[in-house]
Amino acid sequence: MDVECIYGRQPVQLFLQKSPRRSQVLWLDRKLDAKIRDRFTRLARGRSVAVRAVDRGQIDRITGRAVHQGVALETEPLAVHGLSKLFSVLGRPGLVLAAIDGVTDPQNFGAVCRSAEAFGLDGILFEPSHSPPLGGAVYKASAGAVEFLNLYGVDSLPDALRKIKTKGVRLVGLDASGPSALTDQPSAGATCWILGSEDRGLRPGVRSVCDAVSAIPMRGRVGSLNVSAAAAVAFFFSRKCHL
């Protein structure tokens, strides 16, 4: 089977405790503290995962020299769905989605996913060709949240947004220079929040399909938030309105 690599003690522990995905091999730095090594070994063997104690340099190679803390896990890739599955849930009351437009930094992408899962969003749309791989860096940045999200990979985000718009989903782009305020958006009905990259914002083709482009009201001098912080504010606002 195809594999991806999850690394870091907390992400790997969370994966072994909660993920339904199958795993192949757990790699452990042979110089890890014995208690830590034993804890991970028990978790892995409880799921019939092979355990290999190796030199740290080998784990460096497996993870691309990421900050792995002496722990790495080879597992099957995350499931990414198509639009047909999304269409099956579009009539759900209080539906809230997010679309990530060209966010290529895995830390930002993962942090958006973490907020989406925390506030109970119904799914995330993204273009795999304009997004980071859904591997170890995204998994770690999301604190494992990507494991529990419905992820919808699309070839063209503008086309996908047009299609869900015809199904009654309101499309709201987030932009610090947006002409409307986030708090002015309707609280009823299905919504998809659209988040652009920090350097380019929303692409013109994505922006043009939005029903509204909104800014988050702020009082400070900085006047903007990074994409993951803006996402958390928007997602909280949506869920607060649907309580």
Supply the CATH number for residue 188's domain.
3.40.1280.10
What pLDDT does 243 receive? 41
Q: What token pair was written down for 162? A: 């047009």
If asked whether residues 61 and 91 sit together in one domain, one would say no
pLDDT of 2 higher than 90: no
Please report which residue ranges of the chain form alpha helices under DSSP H: 9-18, 34-45, 56-63, 83-87, 106-118, 136-141, 157-165, 204-207, 227-241
Q: Can you tell me the distance from the alpha carbon of 222 to that of 213, in angstroms, rounded to the nearest whole number?
A: 20
If asked whether residues 65 and 101 sit together in one domain, one would say no
pLDDT of 167 higher than 60: yes
Percent of the chain with pLDDT over 90: 74
If asked whether residues 68 and 87 sit together in one domain, one would say no
What pLDDT does 128 receive? 95
If asked whether residues 110 and 132 sit together in one domain, one would say yes
If asked whether residues 88 and 68 sit together in one domain, one would say no
pLDDT of 143 higher than 80: yes
Taken as a whole, the chain contains a residue count of 243
Domain boundary among 75, 100, 132: 75
Share of the chain residues as helix, strand and coil, in percent rounded to the nearest 5 = 40, 20, 40
If asked whether residues 228 and 124 sit together in one domain, one would say yes
| Residues of the domain holding 46 | 4-75
pTM: 0.88
Give the chain's domain count: 2
If asked whether residues 105 and 173 sit together in one domain, one would say yes
Domain boundary among 46, 75, 104: 75
pLDDT band of 225, cuts 50, 70, 90: confident
In single-letter form, the type of residue at position 49 comes to V
